[in-house]
Amino acid sequence: MPELKNDRFLRALERQPVDRTPIWIMRQAGRYLPEYRAVREKAGDFMTLCQTPELACEVTLQPLERFDLDAAILFSDILTIPHAMGLGLHFVKGEGPRFSHPVRDRRAIDALPRPDAETDLGYVMDAVRVIRRELDGRVPLIGFSGSPWTLATYMVEGGSSRDFRRIKGLMYEDPETLHRLLARVADSVTDYLNAQIAAGAQAVQIFDTWGGVLSPATYREFSLAYMQRIVEGLTRESDGRRVPVILFTKNGGQWLEAIADAGPDALGIDWTTDLDDARGRVGERVALQGNLDPNVLYAGPERIRAEVERVLAAFGHGEGHVFNLGHGIHPQIDPDHVRVLVDAVHELSAPYHG
């Protein structure tokens, strides 16, 4: 494997010195880029794009051609695991993901297979290998998965939800059955992330998009416990280098200490928690990733630069910060504003290092 030419992202995750704060953007490959929409059109639909390694590679690299980003993220989706379990993933225009066969009772849950990551999800591992080859050491490649709780919300609800009434109904009525589902999903996520690492992913992020809809007690029992189980089962070194793990619970700001206790290298922080507060609470133990409000990118260059400075100042001087948005970039954002963001992070962060 070629030497990494830019390892700022990995160094920041290990809280090692860097010359500039590294930046990548959640959902950096996607619909806000016209060249993504063109490839998506050519592929026909989103799942074909995910399942064709050369196309997945092409769209993974698109944002890196435009912007001076410090990491690439595998182009795929968190719902590939339930799809491989036979739930029948499809996308309904304007409504997001849907499953033809949601799982809602003990019988359906106990019948779920444990997918083989190298065969059933081989298209993802092939994409990782092709992307690593094409990246040729430019920047590290991030692999990812959903958290068991977040995946279970889609598997039980059958798609996106506003109120989570089916999964929360199950959680309160029959917690044992939900635990069986979460345990199965956690084992599959562990297999899946370890296969991505074996294929060449150099860091991994677990997206716990919906952990923040839980109460403190149910968050610990139904989301965090299973992320911890995954973290404990992950390969943490590959090619002689640490493979850092980032846990991102959207709206999880009140639980940072508990999340750090689960053993990750870094925590993703959304914009509802200030980085100075987060750093004071867990900065001795983990790196922090975030946390610009994605809506800042609707504003003009002057405001974007001012808000970047505010985030950099909140983290303050020293190591252990990876810049990102506090959640995914919106499809309506002007790519020129993204360039302003990325360049501002590199330019304005120099005084915070060295």
Catalytic positions are: 27, 31, 40, 77, 154
Sole binder of ligand CP3 in the list 158, 212, 328, 335 (CB under 6 A): 328
What Rg do the C-alpha atoms of the chain give, in angstroms?
19
Does 58 bind ligand CP3 (CB under 6 A)? Our answer is no
Does 144 bind ligand CP3 (CB under 6 A)? Our answer is yes
Which residue is associated with the tokens 């990548």? Answer: 24
What's the closest the beta carbon of residue 161 comes to ligand CP3, in angstroms? Answer: 11
Helix (H) or strand (E) holding 205: strand 203-208
Q: In this chain, which stretch among 29-37, 101-109, 187-195, 297-305 interacts with ligand CP3, using CB under 6 A? A: 29-37
What's the closest the beta carbon of residue 283 comes to ligand CP3, in angstroms? Answer: 23
- Beta-strand relationship, 203-208 and 241-242: unpaired
Does 209 bind ligand CP3 (CB under 6 A)? Our answer is yes
CA angle 150, 112, 93 (to 5 degrees): 50
Does 40 bind ligand CP3 (CB under 6 A)? Our answer is yes
Q: In this chain, which stretch among 12-20, 75-83, 189-197, 285-293 interacts with ligand CP3, using CB under 6 A? A: 75-83
Residue 304 or 329: the one with the smaller Cβ distance to ligand CP3 is 329
Give the list of residues 6+ apart from residue 187 with CB closer than 8 angstroms, or none: 114
Residue 78 or 256: the one with the smaller Cβ distance to ligand CP3 is 78
CA distance 128 to 117: 13
Residue 328 or 335: the one with the smaller Cβ distance to ligand CP3 is 328
Does 29 bind ligand CP3 (CB under 6 A)? Our answer is yes
Site string for ligand CP3, 265-304 (x = CB under 6 A): ----------------------------------------
Does 32 bind ligand CP3 (CB under 6 A)? Our answer is no
CA angle 81, 202, 238 (to 5 degrees): 105
Tokens of 225: 């416990």
Does 81 bind ligand CP3 (CB under 6 A)? Our answer is no
For 323, other C-beta atoms within 10 Å of its C-beta total 29
Does 31 bind ligand CP3 (CB under 6 A)? Our answer is yes
Does 323 bind ligand CP3 (CB under 6 A)? Our answer is no
Site size for ligand CP3 (CB under 6 A): 23
| DSSP secondary structure code for residue 109 in this structure | H
Does 75 bind ligand CP3 (CB under 6 A)? Our answer is yes
Tokens of 170: 């199950």
Does 212 bind ligand CP3 (CB under 6 A)? Our answer is no
Give the list of residues 6+ apart from residue 172 with CB closer than 8 angstroms, or none: none
Output the residue with the shortest Cβ distance to ligand CP3.
209
**Interacting residues with ligand CP3 between 236 and 265 (CB under 6 A):** 250
Tokens of 70: 């410090």
Residue 305 or 327: the one with the smaller Cβ distance to ligand CP3 is 327
Closest CA to 320 of 350, 288, 346: 288
Q: How far is CA 114 from CA 82, 121, 122, 164, in A?
A: 10, 11, 14, 25
Does 207 bind ligand CP3 (CB under 6 A)? Our answer is yes
Give the list of residues 6+ apart from residue 288 with CB closer than 8 angstroms, or none: 266, 267, 269, 275, 278, 279, 282, 315, 320, 321, 322
Question: Which residues form the interface with ligand CP3 (CB under 6 A)?
Answer: 26-31, 40, 46, 73, 75, 77-79, 91, 96-97, 144, 160, 207, 209, 250, 327-328
